[in-house]
Structure 1
Amino acid sequence: MTLALELKDLRKSFGPAKIIQGVNLQIEKGERHAIIGPNGAGKSTLFNLISGRFFPSSGEVKLNGEVISGKRPFEINRMGLSRSFQVSNIFTNMTVRENVRCGVLYSMGYGMSFWRNIGNLKEVSQKTAQILDEVGLLDKANLPAASLPYADQRTLEIAITIAGGAEVILLDEPTAGMSHSETDRAVALIEKASQGKTLLIVEHDMGVVFGMADRISVLVYGEIIATGTPEEIRGDAKVREAYLGEDAQALEGVA
């Protein structure tokens, strides 16, 4: 088994509040893995620990066998991990094309330079246009990112996430706030973008989770109470107990 991500006894406290309490998780290369759990379970905190936004109180995170806990986000990104955020995190004062081009530049080996005209970099322009075409935003390439509708802004963030060429992609609730048709479009995009890559996704829509994930982990009060295939998770008594009200009904309704 070749691991893309490994979490070992990962813990995070903010003062006396213990948010993540000894998470152990192994994610294989090429796997699509979903993390679900009730509100306040610590899902976004876990993402922040993996991507370097937070430093763990103890424990460690490994990316392709190398410890990354304690490294800064840009260092982790350069090691092959990219993420999106629960709230759209794009450059609103730049065009759609410029947003994606920022990710493409680094992935193609171009660092900061004040004397290089990036408009003359043909291969960067071609790669940027290819990604925009793949996500359905090529016709909006010259629009200010701030002018896009909400669903398109989420799509743009996914495009930026994949533009860097990372092999491990973290998506934090990518379909939140979308209509059914917008969700279907986003799922198709995510499945296409994650082909051959490792995907870790936090998602509230159980239909998306059970339809996309190879395996699912359930996080409750900072602890993983179950990990398994969609079928195993659907039939797990501990999981059903953890989901109350509408969430329990959502699990019941997933085919």
Structure 2
Amino acid sequence: MSALALQLKDLRKSFGPAKIIEGVSLDIARGERHAIIGPNGAGKSTLFNLISGLFPPSSGQISLGGKQINGLKPHQINRLGLSRSFQVSNIFANMSVRENVRCGVLWSLGYGHSFWRNIGNLKEVQHKTAEVLEKVGLTEKADVPAVLLTYADQRTLEIAITIAGGADVILLDEPTAGMSHSETARAIELIERATEGKTLLIVEHDMGVVFGLSDRISVLVYGEIIATGTPEEIRGNARVREAYLGDETDMAEVTA
């Protein structure tokens, strides 16, 4: 088994003449918490879309646990052990919190579209669903329709769905966007708890979240990674400082 959870080799993506990802290479070890940061338009979400199979790469290679996944569909990549969230909450609004989580659990346990089964009799599914709800702190809201949750709780539910399938590699795309400081603090604790023992790749603008969670950080600018290192190394990197010039907020956070 490969010691690397995820490996990108000279990954490139163009849309017509527009080059969005230009030669990204990155090794992420098993169990590592790795953040991707960079200015708006740097290509962070496109990179996530390539890794999770929403977009095919123009060239280059993506490996998950040593297995090349180029060209696989998102559900095939998910079944190989990778799951992701999105910038915008992606939940079943009219289903209960429990039902949302249970959807992810069902696929992970191999039930799929088993219309003739009584879900209430699937004790393994019920147990795993309850376990995930407990882990993210949504047990008391299990029967609440997802549409009635607060924004922060909807983001929590999305994380719950993301981990419900038991994937070893978790991709979170701006999980704390739009949250207050107190909500963000709770989200950090949740992410740490929910991804314990797993590999985490996170895109995030909040530098407090990035430096609080990450083992290593990569800085993506105009489709290229200009630096990768520990939080301390990234704080002191001159190229990172230059990349954030003109954005005083980001500069203050990076150098704090």
Same fold at TM > 0.5 = yes
Q: Does 1:217 align with 2:218?
A: yes
CA distance in 1, matches of 2:61, 2:25: 10
SS in 1 for 2:90: coil
Name stretches of at least 5 consecutive residues in structure 1 with no aligned partner: none
CA distance in 2, matches of 1:134, 1:194: 10
CA distance in 1, matches of 2:66, 2:192: 25
Query: How far has the Cα of 1:185 moved from its partner?
Result: 0.8
CA distance in 1, matches of 2:160, 2:144: 15
Letter in 2 for 1:247: D
Q: Which residue of 2 aligns with 1:6?
A: 7
CA distance in 2, matches of 1:164, 1:111: 12
CA distance in 2, matches of 1:115, 1:214: 46
Letter in 2 for 1:195: E
Q: Which residue of 1 aligns with 2:155?
A: 154
Q: Which residue of 2 aligns with 1:246?
A: 249
TM-score, normalising length from structure 1?
Answer: 0.97
Q: Which residue of 2 aligns with 1:131?
A: 132
Q: Does 1:167 align with 2:181?
A: no
TM-score, normalising length from structure 2?
Answer: 0.97
SS in 1 for 2:25: strand
Letter in 2 for 1:97: R
Post-superposition CA distance 1:66-121 (Å, at most 9, x none): 11121100000000000000111011121110000011112222221111011111
Q: RMSD of the alignment, in Å?
A: 0.9
Q: Which residue of 1 aligns with 2:121?
A: 120
CA distance in 1, matches of 2:175, 2:50: 18
Q: Runs of at least 4 residues of structure 1 off by over 3 A?
A: none
Q: Which residue of 2 aligns with 1:143?
A: 144
Post-superposition CA distance 1:156-194 (Å, at most 9, x none): 000000000000000000000001111111111110111
The residue correspondences of 1:58-77 to structure 2 (distance < 5 A) are: 58-77=59-78
Q: Which residue of 2 aligns with 1:231?
A: 232
The residue correspondences of 1:39-78 to structure 2 (distance < 5 A) are: 39-78=40-79
SS in 1 for 2:225: strand
Q: Which residue of 1 aligns with 2:178?
A: 177
Q: Which residue of 1 aligns with 2:94?
A: 93
CA distance in 2, matches of 1:69, 1:152: 34
Letter in 1 for 2:161: I
CA distance in 1, matches of 2:94, 2:61: 37
Instruction: State percent identity of aligned pairs.
Output: 77
CA distance in 1, matches of 2:148, 2:112: 28
Query: How far has the Cα of 1:23 moved from its partner?
Result: 0.3
Name stretches of at least 5 consecutive residues in structure 2 with no aligned partner: none
SS in 1 for 2:253: helix
Query: How far has the Cα of 1:211 moved from its partner?
Result: 1.2
CA distance in 1, matches of 2:255, 2:79: 41
CA distance in 2, matches of 1:47, 1:28: 17
Query: How far has the Cα of 1:8 moved from its partner?
Result: 0.5
SS in 2 for 1:19: strand
Letter in 2 for 1:249: A
CA distance in 1, matches of 2:9, 2:241: 26
